[in-house]
Structure 1
Amino acid sequence: MVAHLREALRRNLCTAGLSLSEAFSAQRYNSDPLCTRFSPLPTFPNRKSTAAFIIFSTKAMWEPFKNYLAEDPVNRLEGTANPIDDYARTKIADALREALPADVAYEIRYPYEEGERFVYFQRMAHLAGLAYFDPNWQFLCVHPVHGPWLAFRAVVLVDLDGPDPTVSVEEVKNPCGGVVDHARALYEQLQEEAASDPHDLATAYHKRWRMLVQIRDELASFLGERAVRERYSDTQVTYHYLKDRQILRDALNRR
């Protein structure tokens, strides 16, 4: 049942440029020592393991996203606080409606939620076997195919049996090799500059968004010639970090 559901959900998400992890156990996240300081993921009664899936985007989302905006720019671009979050939320809801039987309950959490609904997505992706994450310094996950060029959009918890959380799972291996050293040096430089910046940390990072891109490029270099194919376009990169609506307006005007 879970495998069938995953395939149906994957097909529906694919048309929106969204991707799906393999099923993992919500209980595994809830019992992880790095995650217990946060609220647990929702689970369902009478299930030893609740099936969970991470939905994420890569560069493949950019063209479907622009098409979505172009269909109704007044509401989808100008009439919302965050066009890309709205797009992901809408397409995920559509995919779930198409893929899930009406009698199967589910819960969903988004990366921008806070408080009791906050989810440590980077660690969760590592536990799910989706992407490597080093909590000692990294702020990015690294996927073996896409490198660091992915963004988390949601985690869906389904009232179906997930993998046994008591069975040991092989840890995700670091695919980056020696390139990590240079990326980490850049990250430490960024930390030093941000710490001495008179503005708050978020503003200090925002001012140095090109350093964040440079760190991402360094981590992606293990991909070799595939790094160019997996990297976001320059327009997508710039919007990802600046969230400037004019970037989207210009992108639509160039269509």
Structure 2
Amino acid sequence: MAPLCKPEQKEVFLASLQASLGRLGFDIVHPFAAQSYNETEVGKTNPLPEFSQRSTLSIYIANTKTFWEVFLRQYDSTKLTAVEAKDPIDHYCEHHIPKVTVQALQDAGLLVIDQNMTKTSTPFTVAFSHYKPSVPAPGSCPEGSPDTGFVPPPEKVLRFQQVAHFSGLAFFNPVSYLSMHPTYGPWTGLRALIVVDLEYDPSQDNAQLFASEASRCGTTTLDSTALPSNPAFALLRQQPDGEALVKDRERIIQEKWDALLARGYENRDWREWIDFRKTTAIDRPDWQAWQYSEQQILYHYTKCADRLQGWADELRERERT
């Protein structure tokens, strides 16, 4: 049985969760109602858990370019297993996000242990963008948190870009297959979803989660509503022939995308793929400040995990001098 949640407990939970995620480099924390995705045609086939709530608190975890140095500062290849070393960023997400969720529940008194060592917890789930269902496997609990209220996420692949779209986090561009954030453009990493058996109250929960500048400026909706149009073309639409300019830009993007798909992807072609990504944001010069560094771009497109330790050592040396 889950403990009853008082308003002040939810405030503690959200504050603890956001603070911990921020320290880990996850600077976009976007609250929404699970129902905003579940009620779509895509969501109906693979819904997020609602825990019998009319409006279920769900939290989308993402990051901007600032994640990169936070990650490198803690990176140590000698502490990773062979499996973990294949994609250390995925492992980083799997290891930390469930753990800080459990800690936040404990901080708020929503995961309690009585005198008989019986644990009761508010049910929750964590799903990752890089996994079919998630880690841990269905029926098990997050690392280091046995007997919590962990509920397995959907068994089918969650379409994370669609969740981001219908939750109001980012616009999914069906032409480029990129998620376009209103503030950061295509320069975000979609990492995980946390769904908790708590009511989503836009007036309270958003105020709590928008405490950081990144979350506040990175979220343009408070009511789990999809963005009405692609923010990449917001400035184009303000021009006299705006809609015609948008159609022409979409045609160019489609042609470039078709050409890339016809060739297929090879790691050596990563510069062409990043040029395509830049093309989708060419009409938003304000997004350029959020473009990933060369290292981050290279890792994103080639998964060159063997170079991470060298980059981490370089960063530490640079910060010592």
Check whether TM > 0.5: yes
- Measure the CA separation in 2 of the matches of 1:149 and 1:194: 21
1:83 maps onto 2:88 in alignment:
yes
2:275 alignment partner in structure 1: 214
1:131 alignment partner in structure 2: 170
1:174 alignment partner in structure 2: 230
1:233 pairs with one of 279, 282, 293: 293
2:53 pairs with one of 47, 50, 74: 47
1:160 pairs with one of 188, 194, 198: 198
- Measure the CA separation in 2 of the matches of 1:125 and 1:208: 28
1:106 alignment partner in structure 2: 124
Matched AA of 2:71: F
Normalization by structure 2: what TM-score? 0.66
The verdict on how the C-alpha distance between 1:205 and 1:7 changes in structure 2, with shifts beyond 3 A counting, is farther
- Measure the CA separation in 1 of the matches of 2:177 and 2:187: 13
The verdict on how the C-alpha distance between 1:68 and 1:117 changes in structure 2, with shifts beyond 3 A counting, is farther
1:56 maps onto 2:42 in alignment:
no
2:258 pairs with one of 191, 199, 213: 191
Query: Taking every aligned residue pair, what percent have the same amino acid on both sides?
Result: 28
Is this contact kept in 2: 1:23–1:163, CA < 8 A?
no
- Segments of structure 1 that go 5 or more residues without pairing to the other structure are none
Matched AA of 1:148: P
Normalization by structure 1: what TM-score? 0.82
- Measure the CA separation in 2 of the matches of 1:114 and 1:213: 26
1:10 maps onto 2:48 in alignment:
no
Matched residue pairs, number? 240
The verdict on how the C-alpha distance between 1:90 and 1:142 changes in structure 2, with shifts beyond 3 A counting, is same
Secondary structure of 1:17's counterpart equals coil
| 1:85-135 deviation line (CA, Å, top 9, x unaligned) | 111222213321332231322101111222624111111111111111133
Residue 176 (structure 1) shift = 1.2
Matched AA of 2:49: P
Secondary structure of 1:113's counterpart equals coil
The verdict on how the C-alpha distance between 1:157 and 1:184 changes in structure 2, with shifts beyond 3 A counting, is farther
The verdict on how the C-alpha distance between 1:246 and 1:182 changes in structure 2, with shifts beyond 3 A counting, is farther
Residue 76 (structure 1) shift = 3.4
Which segment is superposed worse, 180-189 or 237-246? 180-189
Is this contact kept in 2: 1:175–1:222, CA < 8 A?
no
Secondary structure of 1:53's counterpart equals strand
Secondary structure of 1:80's counterpart equals helix
Residue 241 (structure 1) shift = 0.6
Secondary structure of 1:254's counterpart equals helix
1:19 alignment partner in structure 2: 27
1:247 maps onto 2:314 in alignment:
no
- Measure the CA separation in 2 of the matches of 1:90 and 1:235: 23
Is this contact kept in 2: 1:13–1:92, CA < 8 A?
yes
Secondary structure of 1:59's counterpart equals coil
- Measure the CA separation in 1 of the matches of 2:260 and 2:182: 30
Residue 21 (structure 1) shift = 3.6
Is this contact kept in 2: 1:59–1:230, CA < 8 A?
yes
Residue 206 (structure 1) shift = 4.7
1:144 alignment partner in structure 2: 182
| RMSD, matched Cα | 2.6
- Measure the CA separation in 2 of the matches of 1:193 and 1:125: 25
- Measure the CA separation in 1 of the matches of 2:16 and 2:312: 31
Is this contact kept in 2: 1:110–1:153, CA < 8 A?
yes
Is this contact kept in 2: 1:20–1:53, CA < 8 A?
no
The verdict on how the C-alpha distance between 1:209 and 1:96 changes in structure 2, with shifts beyond 3 A counting, is same
2:137 alignment partner in structure 1: none
